[in-house]
Each structure stands twice: as C-alpha cells, then as structure tokens.
Amino acid sequence: MIPQWYALVVRSNRAFKIRDRLQELGIQEFLPTFTETIQWSDRVKTTERQLFPGYLFAKLNGDASSVLNLPGVIQLLPSNIKPTSIDDQEISSLRTIIASQVPVQPCVYVAAQKVTIRSGPFEGVSGVVIRTRGAVQVIVGIEALGKAVKLTVDAADLEKAA
C-alpha cells in the first residue's frame, strides 16, 4: 500500500512530543509551525507555535494502529473507523509556505475563487483568494481539518485554478 498523509488529532500541548515520537518510530511527520514574538511587561520572547493547534500530519501505510496507540493521540480525521487521507499537494503547499520564512498566520477557511500562484516564492501553491483592504490574500487550506493559513501576494502572480 502506498503511504498517504493523515491528520492526527492530538491532546493539547502534546504535538511536539508526538512529533518527536513519530520520528523515533521512523514515521514521516509534518507539524507546521510559525514563530511569534511576544511582548511581555519585562521582556520580549520569540516562541514557536503550531499553525494548527491540536493537529499533526503523519504519512502512514494502511495500518494506523501504531499511531493511535501513542500517548496523546486522540484520533485520525474524520474518524478512526474511516480516516480520510490528505492530498499530497496540500501538504506540499504547506511545506513550501513554511520553508519560505515569510510571516504566516492561522486563519479561518474562507470559500472563494480557487487559484494557483504562478511566480515568486510560492510558485505552484494552490489556494483560495480573498481581498482585504485592497491587498490580495491567498488562503491555503487543509480541507480535512477545516483549517488554513493566509498570506499576501501580488495579484499579477495569480492564475485561476483548473
């Protein structure tokens, strides 16, 4: 069976530990994160945060039982009985965005025109366009989670998706 990506629902504050455990088991994983600078009254701290809190991606063969038995893993999406795989292109798009080091932020998924970015650092990434205050923003989503990330791009870099 060809390995496919699945979304794991994990307990609060356990995603990083589960990611490390998956690596130890030799299971390919992906935990999308971003850095955030927080200003406290006495100092400034930069911290790594999960882009989709409570979710982690794992590339699994047909048998998910080894992953479901890990402490902190709650379930596969949408259910353990019939999990739905996530398209490789969606994971690839997220990896491209995270690797670019361009600031991203989590946002609520918005249904609108589907596009593909045709040039620039996000070339080949597919998503959904929204316009906010004159800027073109692309929402790149993981449909199985109902989650997405938002980034600002030049409208000239977009083309309608097929």
- Structural domains of the chain in order of their starting residue, each with its CATH number: 4-86 (3.30.70.940), 89-160 (2.30.30.30)
Amino acid 108: pLDDT: 45
Exposed, middle or buried, 67 (CB in 10 Å: 0-12/13-18/19+)?
Answer: buried
- Copy the structure tokens of residue 16: 């990083």
Amino acid 135: pLDDT: 66
Amino acid 153: pLDDT: 80
- Copy the structure tokens of residue 50: 């999960």
**Alpha carbon 54 to chain centroid, angstroms:** 11
Q: Which residues pair with 107 in a beta bridge?
A: 148
Taking the C-alpha atoms of residue 8 and residue 30, their distance in angstroms, rounded to an integer, is 11
Q: What is the pLDDT along the chain (162 residues), one digit of tens a residue?
A: 789 999 999 999 999 999 999 999 999 999 999 888 888 889 999 988 999 999 999 999 877 777 999 999 999 988 877 888 899 999 999 999 999 988 887 764 444 678 888 888 888 888 887 765 556 778 787 777 888 888 888 777 888 777
